[in-house]
Structure 1
Amino acid sequence: MARINNLVAFLAILTLAACDRGWPVPLPYPTPGKQNLVVLTRPGPLTYQVDESGSISGLEYDLVKAFAEELGVPVKFHVLAPGEISRQLRNGSYHIAAAWLSPGINPEMQTGPPLFRTHDILAQHEASLPLTSLEQLSGKTVHALAGTRQAATIRQLMGKIPGLQLVEVGHGDVIDLLEALGEQKISYVAMDSEFADVANQYVPSLRATLPLSGDAAIAWWLGPVPDPELKVRIEAFIEKIRSDGTLARLEERYFGHVRRLQQDDIEKFLAHIKTTLPKLSKHFHDAERQTGIDWRLIAALAWQESHWDPFATSYTNVRGLMMLTEETADRLGVSNRLDPRESILAGARYLNLIRNGLPHDMPEPDRTWLAIAGYNIGPGHLNAARTIGKQLNADPGAWYDMKRILPLLAKPQYYKRLISGRARGGEAVIMVENIRSYYDILVRNAPPLTTAIPPMEGKIGISGSSGEAPGIKLRR
């Protein structure tokens, strides 16, 4: 404690010296009941994103909320256009900026410890000739979001590469920019490497072809003269979430599922969204009305199971659009597994039964991801895996832990001790991760059901912040 107090005192001296140089006085340290934590951010899937229901998500949003909870104060977010953050930071009316920023873009800004490591890359359309060296950027025009590290990187390269031009876009988010690339309205986009796999789910025609910079950190900006105590608390918080696994769990939530699908998988899915889905959507809508599960999640599950083929049949005799076993179909009163409507409604009910069989205090979206794993291997095997998880000191309610435990169901040293026997738990993990990606794509390409749904226990929609049933909304 004495060491922390000494550090705070030392930083306070530096703050006074900074104020003497004309920099603005920072906002007071946020204290419960007196002041909010004021945070600058910008729109984007990894920063601050509002879905169609008004729920908010984002990797940095989640981190800020966790920090505010530790401080015991509410958060007030100011969502700014990309190029506005540096200017707002200069006026002192904030505590931190959490907007996927890197140290060094603005030399005046102090930052917290690094959260992630990344670098800048060039994205281009798959139909264009791939660039393989920086020299080939000569005479090219590259688009980047204003005020970002990518814009700064291109400006630096302009001093070395003749004819290189930069267009800074001061509105929208990186997906909007990449969609323009996918439509070939622009030729090149500078983007963050960490976003490449996420972006491919929305724009499968883009290619990340050329590294533009060396390694860089992602960190919170604290402004020229941050509050000394707040700076110490941020450093302690980041050290803690690194050591206790919180940061790894959040990173998995946003990145863990996006590296499995190949370009062909995504392009085929997008084509069937246009051609096949309209013929089935009314059944998926009715399934949401009956179960409360977002129809797009049910559709993603159905695509993973059968590619929306109502006559699909496996070698184990699971059949139909939702690939129901004969036993499950009989239990759910299905007379014809090959009837698309019967299959979809029964599959949605079965998923809901599994989910409602899990502990109601299990957090979302983990509860739903585990239920989908149970859809694949059966609730008995799922419960067996959760038991193994407890024995191995893993959290049986956390998908981050259980995706490591489920493959153990195929190992003799584990399944020989189980009444339920052997199961291909590794396949269940792959299935869940694929469905998460397909669901993300559907959310971007298909509207939500707007018809009012009567309240029910455990309504499921995989976006936004978690809350209490009914009407629960989950982060993807």
Structure 2
Amino acid sequence: MLSASHPARFSHLAMLSLLLALASCTPSPDMTATPDAIRERGELVVLTRNAPTTYFIDRDDQATGFEHDLVLDFAATLGVPVRFEVLHSITEIQEALAAGRAHLAAAGLTRLESRGDRFSFGPGYYEVQQQVICHRNGPRPRTVEELREVSLLVIGDSSYEARLKALRDSQVPELTWQTDSSLSTEMVLQKVWEQEVDCTVADSNIFAINRRYFPELVMMFPLNEPEELAWLLPQGADALSDAITDWYHQANEASFITLVAARYYAHVEIFDYVDIARFVRRIQERLPEYETLFRQAADEYGFDWRLLAAQAYQESHWDPAARSPTGVRGIMMLTLRTAGEVGVTNRLDPAQSIMGGARYLANLRERLPESIEEPHRTWIALAAYNVGLGHVHDARVLAERLGRNPDSWIDLRTVLPKLSQPEHYRSLRYGYARGSEPVQYVRRIRNYEDILNQQLAMAE
């Protein structure tokens, strides 16, 4: 206990306590940092959360994600690297930003009036819509009024909770729900899938990705009009806000944001409940028999084994005796000619077929121009596996004619369908091709690979 006999000590500790108290309620200088101050600091500090729609670590142990890529591009205009701080909930992110721990938050956040009282918003960069999500075998409300009859769980301090409060106040006074600020939207969706709760509310982009992992989930009805995602900034960060707005206009003009969105969302547009439910079952029932073979082939030719497994499922549904009307056979559906080229003597032997298919895919990847970088290189090689390398070369030629990037799968997949159009294929070396097929082929493989990764992670 302090006493009056130590006034100097009391004064020193009192001053220290006062400074600590002031520090706890006074914004850090970085909260409202200008672009010049950020350059002087040498890094842009960004709060985000770990989710497939924002920021995650890919199979190569590299950070990636829609928000991640946008932030990196903005930081490049400032000439600084990014330090991401990954937090677990929206509440944590908002509190950390308010406490001055970062320059901005990029975490799939929508504009809310309640957030506007504490933060500034960057420009809206992606449109989403809140949707009521339920289990197909459980209660299935069709209107807001019917939500009174189900158990409803949403994450706390979210735009979902704000929307439910507005509906309760204006339409359905009896509307009730539970909140949990410790959960992510993805975790709540899993609880609905496991039928621990009847329904939840989720943004359309989050549901589009996660319904592939939880195929029994269904969207019942939208809960609001479409709204925009935006980055959160501390109030007073006007110079940084102006810099973000300038970047946004340039990125939008160059279609950069559209291309990044396509990278993360375009392949999830295909959803077939029966197909995905069957795939999830076969991960348990069929994949274990062939997993070692996929791993061996992947190690031999430099692929991720899950990519090869996804490709094989697209080809044959992991049926070693599969056969098409055109004569391709086996688990990797090799033609007789291709089998001979890669040393496969029995296409119905799973070990030979998987190793031969991996060797053929690696061959195609190797023969592509060096200017094509990953992951586009592998995606374009997969397209060539389906439609032939000659037609892929034609698509690259056509891409250049049309002012597109021939080294980008994002651009190439918009060009490939034109190979079936006479005004284009007549002037190309290899002529007509059903160019839409390789686009769907690659999209489905990426889809299966994502689902496989998620199922394996859930089983750990």
The answer to whether the superposition gives a TM-score over 0.5 is yes
Partner of 2:106: 98
**Distance between the aligned counterparts of 1:447 and 1:161, measured in 2?**
40
- Say if 1:41 and 1:97, in contact at 8 Å, map to a contact too: yes
Indicate yes or no: 2:406 matched with 1:399: no
Shift of 1:323: 0.8
Shift of 1:24: 6.5
What residue identity is the alignment partner of 1:149? S
**Distance between the aligned counterparts of 1:230 and 1:203, measured in 2?**
39
Q: What SS does the aligned partner of 1:419 have? A: coil
Shift of 1:161: 2.4
Partner of 1:4: none
1:204 paired residue among 215, 218, 222: 215
What are the within-5 Å matches in structure 2 for residues 49-448 of structure 1?
49-51=56-58, 54-82=61-89, 83-104=91-112, 105-108=114-117, 109-159=119-169, 160-226=171-237, 228-446=238-456
**Distance between the aligned counterparts of 1:99 and 1:184, measured in 2?**
27
Question: Larger deviation: 104-113 or 302-311?
Answer: 104-113
Shift of 1:27: 4.2
What residue identity is the alignment partner of 1:359? P
The number of equivalent residue pairs is 428
**Distance between the aligned counterparts of 2:28 and 2:295, measured in 1?**
54
Deviations 1:124-176 (CA, angstroms, capped at 9, x unpaired): 00012321111112254321223321122123333342443332223343222
Q: What SS does the aligned partner of 1:138 have? A: helix
**Distance between the aligned counterparts of 2:218 and 2:295, measured in 1?**
35
Shift of 1:420: 2.1
What is the aligned-residue RMSD (CA, Å)? 2.1
**Distance between the aligned counterparts of 1:434 and 1:386, measured in 2?**
22
**Distance between the aligned counterparts of 1:447 and 1:288, measured in 2?**
19
What residue identity is the alignment partner of 2:438? A
- The structure in which a higher percent of residues are helix is 2
**Distance between the aligned counterparts of 2:363 and 2:151, measured in 1?**
54
**Distance between the aligned counterparts of 1:293 and 1:408, measured in 2?**
30
Q: What are structure 2's unaligned runs of at least 5 residues?
A: 1-24
Indicate yes or no: 2:42 matched with 1:35: yes
- Say if 2:139 and 2:150, in contact at 8 Å, map to a contact too: no
Shift of 1:248: 0.5
Shift of 1:352: 1.1
- Say if 2:406 and 2:412, in contact at 8 Å, map to a contact too: yes
TM-score, normalised to structure 1, is 0.86
Shift of 1:23: 6.8
Structure 1 segments (4+ residues) deviating >6 Å: 21-24
Q: What SS does the aligned partner of 2:139 have? A: coil
- Say if 2:314 and 2:444, in contact at 8 Å, map to a contact too: yes
**Distance between the aligned counterparts of 1:75 and 1:199, measured in 2?**
28
- Say if 1:49 and 1:58, in contact at 8 Å, map to a contact too: yes
Q: What are structure 1's unaligned runs of at least 5 residues?
A: 1-20, 449-476
**Distance between the aligned counterparts of 2:368 and 2:178, measured in 1?**
51
**Could you say if the C-alpha distance between residues 71 and 81 of structure 1 is closer, same or farther in structure 2, counting changes exceeding 3 Å?**
same
- Say if 2:139 and 2:198, in contact at 8 Å, map to a contact too: no
**Distance between the aligned counterparts of 1:416 and 1:217, measured in 2?**
43
Q: Alignment identity in percent?
A: 35
**Distance between the aligned counterparts of 1:431 and 1:49, measured in 2?**
25
Q: What SS does the aligned partner of 1:194 have? A: helix
Partner of 1:9: none
- Say if 1:44 and 1:174, in contact at 8 Å, map to a contact too: no
**Distance between the aligned counterparts of 1:292 and 1:22, measured in 2?**
52
Indicate yes or no: 2:52 matched with 1:45: yes
**Distance between the aligned counterparts of 2:242 and 2:147, measured in 1?**
43
Shift of 1:339: 0.7
- Say if 1:300 and 1:438, in contact at 8 Å, map to a contact too: yes
Question: Larger deviation: 73-82 or 136-145?
Answer: 136-145
- Say if 1:387 and 1:396, in contact at 8 Å, map to a contact too: yes
What residue identity is the alignment partner of 2:365? R
**Distance between the aligned counterparts of 2:46 and 2:391, measured in 1?**
44
Deviations 1:306-332 (CA, angstroms, capped at 9, x unpaired): 111111111211111111111111011
Deviations 1:316-371 (CA, angstroms, capped at 9, x unpaired): 11111111111111011110011111011111111111112223332322211111
- Say if 1:305 and 1:323, in contact at 8 Å, map to a contact too: yes
TM-score, normalised to structure 2, is 0.88
**Could you say if the C-alpha distance between residues 56 and 146 of structure 1 is closer, same or farther in structure 2, counting changes exceeding 3 Å?**
farther
Q: What SS does the aligned partner of 1:202 have? A: coil
- Say if 1:381 and 1:423, in contact at 8 Å, map to a contact too: yes
**Distance between the aligned counterparts of 1:94 and 1:273, measured in 2?**
41
